[in-house]
Amino acid sequence: QKEVEQNSGPLSVPEGAIASLNCTYSDRGSQSFFWYRQYSGKSPELIMFIYSNGDKEDGRFTAQLNKASQYVSLLIRDSQPSDSATYLCADSNYGGSQGNLIFGKGTKLSVKP
């Protein structure tokens, strides 16, 4: 049974700082990972995915994957109050007949003005 672990937070950072969100996964064979942002009362919104070891950058967001350590992270540079949300890490159970995502419980981020 695949599992994804996240610190539930809340993680509080000042405006303009770097927010670092972390996630570990149980299945060494997992290939691709997703970060979703979920505002309170809304549905998850895909912000990044990563499948290769190393860093992937998209604007203020950088996803990092370390398959040896089974560790995924999301860095948000120049954090803004509008980044305040819950961030969900997901492992893709892709292959064979399955195509579902396995989510962590999410980390709540609060960016203080």
Partner 1 sequence: ETGVTQSPTHLIKTRGQQVTLRCSSQSGHNTVSWYQQALGQGPQFIFQYYREEENGRGNFPPRFSGLQFPNYSSELNVNALELDDSALYLCASGTTSGAYNEQFFGPGTRLTVL
The site for partner 1 (CB under 8 A) is made up of 4, 8, 31-32, 34, 36, 42-46, 49, 51, 88, 90, 92-94, 97-106
CA separation for the pair 69, 82 (Å, rounded): 31
82 phi and psi, to 5 degrees?
A: -70, -10
CA separation for the pair 71, 61 (Å, rounded): 17
For residue 15, the minimal CB distance to partner 1 (Å) is 26
Query: Which residue, 101, 111, 110, is CA-closest to 44?
Result: 101
For residue 47, the minimal CB distance to partner 1 (Å) is 11
* Closer by beta carbon to partner 1, 79 or else 87: 87
For residue 43, the minimal CB distance to partner 1 (Å) is 4
